[in-house]
Amino acid sequence: MKAIVALQPGNADVLELRHVEEPQVQEGEVKIRVKAFGLNKAESYYRSGNYGTFVANQALGIEAAGEVVEDPSGELKFGQKVVTAMGGMMFTRHGGYAEYVTVQRENVVAIESELAFEALAALPELYLTAWGALDGNLKIEAGQSLLIRGATSGLGMAALTYAKARGLTVLATTRQVSRVDKLKALGADHVLIDDGDIEKQVRALYPEGVDNALEVVGAATVKDTMKAIRLWGQVVVVGLLGGAPVLSSFNLMGDLPNTVKLSFFASGLLGSDALPLHESPINWIAEQVESGEMPSIVSKVFNFDEIQKAHRLLDSNTALGKIVVKV
């Protein structure tokens, strides 16, 4: 089969379209014919060698959308539309940058929507992560206020559109004035220009603070984000846009506001017993995008043989949405 691999770590130029051995499905797995896949920062980090683990000639990618080729359990039928995310893809097996992929059954979800594969491929990793953080960690409810720190990232945009569809009031941050209109078009109720001191801007709108926050930037801004939260509110960290996930110093009494809860969510939990994907709202999200009730966050669609160009856009941090590749 054709797959996109790297023989050594490096920039986008190390990515190659090669013929590799087609994976054979094992018990407990599903074999999928990939129709499209989304690009994620995780793949850029892996390609660059920043994960500390690298397997040459193994397809990259942690998500895909496609059709079932084989399911030994019989639960999924041949040709059924599905999405998949995580489940060891790219790290312990071929990832979604391939014509075929085998994935753990727990990491595959059947899709009922008629949404095109290019649009569907933008959903699994970002929206399942948003679901895990917002529903799992924050226990969001309609009517609440949510601050999204780093809202112009792919995950930030997914969280924004999902939270709005769930009936929340969303405050979205960006460092660039030119991106304000984009965030408003996605449904943000308030767009804040991030100057490093979001607390003052938030409390000008909500004197007692917002109910919760999704921290996509990470360690660089989390202390300030916590200051914008009301008593008993929560912050969940989901991203590392601001650099290494390390705080040089953290005063539990000075930096952690009284009663505010701080937690972390990583998508590696997706498909586990703690977060089974059959309980996720991914079908509802696909239906919302198909109907136009939830805006699509796809920014650019590339062909399979344009992967280097796609990764250069990914590395530039200028996509302003989800990059998708069709197979």
Q: What is the pLDDT of residue 253?
A: 78
Angle between helices 282-291 and 124-131 (to 10 degrees): 120
Q: What is the pLDDT of residue 255?
A: 85
pLDDT above 90 covers a percentage of the chain that reads: 92
d(CA 273, CA 240): 26
* Domain membership flag for residue 255: yes
* Domain membership flag for residue 134: yes
d(CA 308, CA 44): 11
Closest to 113 (Cα-Cα) out of 317, 290, 247: 290
The full DSSP string for 263-306 is EE--GGGTTSTTS-GGGSSHHHHHHHHHHTSS---EEEEEEGGG
Question: What does the pLDDT look like over 154-198, one tens digit per residue?
Answer: 999 999 999 999 999 999 999 999 999 999 999 999 999 999 999
What number of CA atoms fall less than 13 Å from residue 84's CA on the CB side? 34
Query: What ranges in the chain are assigned the alpha helix state H?
Result: 41-48, 117-120, 124-131, 154-165, 180-185, 198-205, 222-227, 282-291, 307-316
Single pTM value for the model: 0.96
Closest to 301 (Cα-Cα) out of 277, 262, 279, 327: 327
Q: What is the pLDDT of residue 112?
A: 96
* Domain membership flag for residue 284: no
d(CA 289, CA 151): 19
**CATH number of domain containing 189:** 3.90.180.10
* Domain membership flag for residue 283: no
- Residue 265: phi and psi, rounded to 5, are -130, 130
- Which residue numbers in the chain have pLDDT < 70? 242-244
Residue 142 belongs to what domain range? 126-268
Please say whether the beta carbons of 325 and 301 come within 8 A: yes
Which of 219, 252, 268 is the C-terminal boundary of a domain?
Answer: 268
The total number of structural domains in the chain stands at 2
| Whether residues 94 and 213 fall in one domain | no
Q: How many residues does the chain have?
A: 327
| Whether residues 246 and 143 fall in one domain | yes
CA 173 to chain centre: 17
- Residue 133: phi and psi, rounded to 5, are -75, -45
* Domain membership flag for residue 276: no
Q: What is the pLDDT of residue 242?
A: 64
d(CA 145, CA 57): 46
| Whether residues 28 and 148 fall in one domain | no
